[in-house]
Amino acid sequence: MNEIFSLAGIVGVLIVGTVSPGPSFVMVARTAVCAGRVNGLTAAVGMGLGGVVFAVAALVGLQAVLVSVPALYVAFKIAGGIYLLYLGVMIWRGAKQPLAVQAAPGDGGGGPLRSLLLGLGTQLSNPKAAIVYASVFAAFLPDGAALAVGIAITALVFVIETAWYALVALMLSAAQPRRTYLRFKAWIDRAAGGVVTALGLKLASSAHSL
């Protein structure tokens, strides 16, 4: 029974964290309106897979490694920031290009596999998520929790992450949002590129405060 309450607490916290706006939301939303429903949904699956990676890493003790080796954590944050900066610049540079000819990274094109990898890469760009997961698990999980509980948590992380971003993709791949995007493409892309670039700068610069 305690494990059920623990799982419920973890689910509640993870839902709040997942729906909070960030680079993941920006990338899934833009992929959905730019490249359509299938690409948006596969990007959502990529987000879910990224969540699984961090959940497993937290369960096996990555948090302790990152805390005990600050240089490694700094390196991860800088690498994640550079990745987001790259995506942001590519989106900004493609703002004036017609949708049909866009093929730069971060433009939402290239097919479902590319969208899945874009979602996965965006999710993994912030190693802080591993610390957050580890903190949440430590706060709610009882000592000596069974392996089945860890498996259940990992599955729940995938479901929560994928379901939320799939909902975002379904809503924003509808006809009206796509028409609005095409009409204001240059401005929307500049805004999205600016947001992702700013988040990348924030992530990379925060490494120096550790």
Q: Where are the chain's structural domains?
A: 2-13+22-209
Does residue 190 have a pLDDT over 70? yes
pLDDT class of 50 with cuts at 50, 70, 90: very high
Cβ contacts of 65-73, under 8 Å, gap ≥ 24: 66/127, 66/130, 66/131, 67/131, 70/210, 73/127, 73/207, 73/210
Torsion of CA 57, 161, 150, 132, to 10 degrees: 50
Instruction: Give the global pTM.
Output: 0.73
pLDDT class of 102 with cuts at 50, 70, 90: very low
pLDDT in tens, 64-80: 676 677 787 788 778 77
Burial of 22 (0-12, 13-18, 19+ CB in 10 A): middle
Residue-level pLDDT at 162: 97
Least confident among 24-38, 57-71, 102-116, 133-147: 102-116
Does residue 209 have a pLDDT over 60? no
For 64, list phi and psi in degrees, rounded to 5. -65, -40
